[in-house]
Amino acid sequence: MDYRKKLVVEPGSKVRLSKIDPSYSGEHESHEKALPEIQANVERMDKLQYLLYADGSQSLLVVLQALDAAGKDGVIRHVFSGMNPQGTFVFGFKQPSKDEAAHDFLWRAHLRTPEKGEVVVFNRSHYEDVLVVRVHKLVERRVWSKRYDLINDFEKILIQNRTTILKFFLHISPEEQLARFKQRLDDPSRHWKISESDYSERELWPQYVEAYEDAVALTSTKRAPWYIIPANHKWFRNLAVSQIVADTMDEMGLKLPPTRVNIADISRKYHAAARAKTGKGKGRTKEAVKAE
Ligand code: AMP
Ligand code: MG
């Protein structure tokens, strides 16, 4: 199944989250059966990230948005942990600091966008400024309502600078969220993650749904698409995200840069000399020397 086709939000389409089953898991029956596919995707991502880094002419920005406990951290740990940390960065966006709040809302996001060759994952993002900010009325409607266009323009700048953008909304049900909060209560190692506001935010669920539906519908574009990932099953979430990332990177046309040196020359000049000095290679077969 091609989850890019299945889960993408078509530009200009209306989004009704209530019509999308958060427990969807495709044709896959279980975690065990999906695991080899997830692992294969993660390995593909690792190889492609090496190419992206070597190629050095493009970059990838992955935006993760979701309500609490939907699995943003889980995606980072299970899907992106295969990539080389030298060239892969994760930034979490919290309540703006004094410095951040003193600038326009896109400033702090722009500071963190990937350099050429890099993969950057946003754990929350500039979208919070049309989500939590809208739901909690932190700014007036006339301010946040203009931000969708500003976000689209901002992302256009990045795309023109050869950044590929992928945006994921992890979609869980309120029941699943409550069950996950309960698991946290039952596990002392995760108590630090709990706050009372997690529970009070649940009362705003319908407002968040509305804000997400608008955000996703108004900013899903051909070049910076949103994907709505059914996330009640953690393994399906990981499968879908890893497949979409790997398939997208596959189509970026990444290439190893041309060799700038004469490999044969260098090999002869430095390695043959070293072998002669140490005596290595003497009296051995060609194959043994090669394998050295
Ligand atoms: P967490 O992701 O659990 O670490 O929490 C980060 C918190 O920061 C969340 O409650 C977000 O809604 C909040 N947050 C992120 N960006 C903004 C923003 N621009 N304005 C207000 N709150 C934000
Ligand atoms: Mg939280």
Quick check: is 95 in a domain? Answer: yes
Q: Which residues pair with 60 in a beta bridge?
A: 119, 164
Q: 28 and 92 share a domain?
A: yes
Q: 52 and 81 share a domain?
A: yes
Backbone angles phi, psi at 17, to 5 degrees: -65, -30
Tokens at 28, concatenated: 């896959």
Q: CATH number, domain at 228?
A: 3.40.50.300
Q: 131 and 204 share a domain?
A: yes
Q: 17 and 64 share a domain?
A: yes
Q: 210 and 283 share a domain?
A: no
Quick check: is 115 in a domain? Answer: yes
Q: 98 and 141 share a domain?
A: yes
For ligand 1, is residue 93 a contact (CB within 6 Å)? yes
Quick check: is 145 in a domain? Answer: yes
The protein residue with its alpha carbon nearest to ligand 1, atom 4, reads 94
Quick check: is 47 in a domain? Answer: yes
Quick check: is 114 in a domain? Answer: yes
Task: Assign 272 a pLDDT band (cuts: 50, 70, 90).
Answer: confident
Q: What is the pLDDT of residue 244?
A: 98
| Spacing, Cα 197 to ligand 1 middle (Å) | 12
Quick check: is 214 in a domain? Answer: yes
Q: Which of 205, 185, 204 is nearest to 195 (CA)?
A: 185
Q: 192 and 284 share a domain?
A: no
Containing structural domain, residue 292: 260-292
Q: 99 and 187 share a domain?
A: yes
Q: What is the pLDDT of residue 247?
A: 98
Q: How many CB atoms lie within 10 A of CB 245?
A: 29
pLDDT digits (tens, 9 = 90+) for 185-222: 999 999 998 999 999 999 999 999 999 999 999 999 99
Residue among 94, 138, 177 to mutate when testing ligand 1 (max atoms within 8 A of CB): 94
Q: What is the pLDDT of residue 27?
A: 85
The protein residue with its alpha carbon nearest to ligand 1, atom 15, reads 94
pLDDT digits (tens, 9 = 90+) for 166-190: 999 999 999 999 999 999 999 999 9
Q: 212 and 162 share a domain?
A: yes
Q: 264 and 246 share a domain?
A: no
User: How many independent structural domains does the chain possess?
Assistant: 2
| Spacing, Cα 83 to ligand 1 middle (Å) | 26
Task: Assign 290 a pLDDT band (cuts: 50, 70, 90).
Answer: low
| Spacing, Cα 115 to ligand 1 middle (Å) | 25
Distance CA 41, CA 183 (A): 29
Quick check: is 117 in a domain? Answer: yes
| Spacing, Cα 214 to ligand 1 middle (Å) | 19
Task: Assign 279 a pLDDT band (cuts: 50, 70, 90).
Answer: low
Average pLDDT over residues 6-32: 94
Q: 103 and 182 share a domain?
A: yes
pLDDT digits (tens, 9 = 90+) for 95-141: 999 999 999 999 999 999 999 999 999 999 999 999 999 999 999 99
Quick check: is 255 in a domain? Answer: no
Classify each residue of 143-182 as buried b or exposed e, where b means 16 or more C-beta atoms within 10 Å of its C-beta: ebeebbeebeebbeebbeeebbbbbbbbbbbeebbeebbe
Looking at every residue in the chain, the average pLDDT score rounds to 94
Q: 212 and 281 share a domain?
A: no
Average pLDDT over residues 81-95: 95
